Each structure stands twice: as structure tokens, then as C-alpha cells.
Amino acid sequence: PLRCVAACPMLPVNFRLLLVTDRSLVHGRSLESALRESVASGVQAIQLRERDLPTRELLSLTQQIRAVTQERAVPLLINDRVDLAVALDLGGVHLRASSLPVSAARRVVGRHRLIGVSAHSVAEARQAGDDGADYVILGPIFETPSKREFGDPLGFAVLADACRHSSVPVFAIGGITRERIESVRDAGAFGVAMIGGILGRADVGNVTADMQSAVRTAWPSD
Ligand code: TZP
């Protein structure tokens, strides 16, 4: 496990490689099986982002995934669902613009769970830190196949600016590949978040191990 790398007394963000899920990208098997492989190969944290599922189905899927992450003490966060984060005793919740604001979510999840926030600009990244989020995911930094849904790429300059102005760790998302990890670190990113770079691949285990080793090289002092 990584040591505390973020400013305390907030709950430390002790991961650099965050896998965000999209089960529609997983082919020929279940999301659970793909995540089991990724966890076994060293993924450091998972954000469950299966926004189309009705509550009961999401509950049941989250329980299955929690069993997988618990085995290796990998933090599991859930997109938007503050209620499920508490009901299933997850590691945290990831908020989007339409979610509860950070202050309200904090009252529900407490200080012992992480709150992440999606940001798409320098101003949003700064605001999230000011609001009391534990970390920010900023993107899309690069072109991504899911481009239309997520907007135009922000690029390095915005990433660097957001990292300078945010008081909390910033994860880069959107088109992140192994080759791009060092450059986003150089721009000031605390870590990387990705979907397709891992879940869109048949060899989820190998590609996770590869990303994990790139992350270790990029942040050797962890
Ligand atoms: N937010 C901004 S881009 C994005 C999200 C959730 C998707 C990133 O997906 P990928 O496949 O890692 O480029």
C-alpha cells in the first residue's frame, strides 16, 4: 500500500491509478470478472460508474464488486450515489455536477469516506477543493473515443493550471495511455484515471500490470 501522499488531516488519497468502470466496454464476460483480474494485477482504486442501472440492480452489482475489492483492500467509490456509498460501506463517492454538492454529501458520508468531484475546467477544479472535496478528476485531457459525451479535450495547459490552482489532488482522465502518464505527471497531476485504456482491452490483467508499472515509474517515491 502507498503511504500517505496527500495533505492531512483529510483522509489521504493513497492511489495514483484509478479505474473508472463502463461495463458496456467489457466484452465476452462480466464486469465483475474483468475487475477481479484488474484488482489481482494491481489496480489501486475503482470508481463504479454504471449510471444506467436501476437502484436494485446497481446495489447488487456493487455488492459483487465490493467483494472483489475487499479481498485486496482496494478503495471502491461509487459515482453519484451517496446513499449506496453509505449503505454498502464503500470507500467513497464520486460527485458530478448534478450530484449533491460536496458539503451536503460530506454530512452523509462523513470524514472517513473519500469525496471525489468531476471537473472540466480550472475554475471547477479549484472550486471542488474549496468546497472540501478530497480529490478532483479533470478531463477529458486528450481525445477519447467517448469524446462527444465528455466534450472537447482540455489539453496540458488547462491540466497544469488546474493542478496549480486546486488545493486537492487532481487526477487526469480522458485518453490516458501508458505513454502519456509521465507527461501528465509533469503537468502536475497527482494521478491518472481511465476507462478504455484498461476495460476496453481483452487482456485487462496485463494492461493493468503495465499501467501499474508505468505509474510506479512516474511516482517512484510512493
Ligand atoms: N470524464 C472525462 S473523460 C471520461 C470521463 C469519465 C472518459 C474517459 O475515458 P477513457 O476511456 O479513459 O478515455
What percent of the chain is predicted at pLDDT more than 90?
Answer: 90
CA-CA-CA-CA torsion sign (147, 156, 93, 103): negative
List pLDDT tens digits, range 126-147: 999 999 999 999 999 999 876 6
Q: Which residues of the chain have a pLDDT value below 50?
A: 6-8
Residue 118 among known ligand-binding residues: yes
Report the nearest atom of ligand 1 relative to the CA of 25. 11
Residue 62: its pLDDT value, please? 98
Q: How many helices (H) and strands (E) does the chain have?
A: 10, 8
* Coil, helix or strand at residue 66: helix
How confident is the prediction for the chain on average, in pLDDT? Answer: 94
Cell of residue 142, nine digits: 486528450
Cβ distance 128 to 119 under 8 Å?
yes
Q: Ligand 1 centroid vs 172 CA: distance in angstroms?
A: 9
Q: Ligand 1 centroid vs 139 CA: distance in angstroms?
A: 7
Q: Which residues lie closer than 8 Å to 186 by C-beta, 6 or more apart?
A: none
pTM for the whole structure: 0.94
Q: Ligand 1 centroid vs 2 CA: distance in angstroms?
A: 24
Report the nearest atom of ligand 1 relative to the CA of 193. 12
Q: Which residues lie closer than 8 Å to 30 by C-beta, 6 or more apart?
A: 23
Give the ipTM of the model, two decimals please.
0.96
Residue 206 among known ligand-binding residues: no
List pLDDT tens digits, range 54-95: 999 999 999 999 999 999 999 999 999 999 999 999 999 999
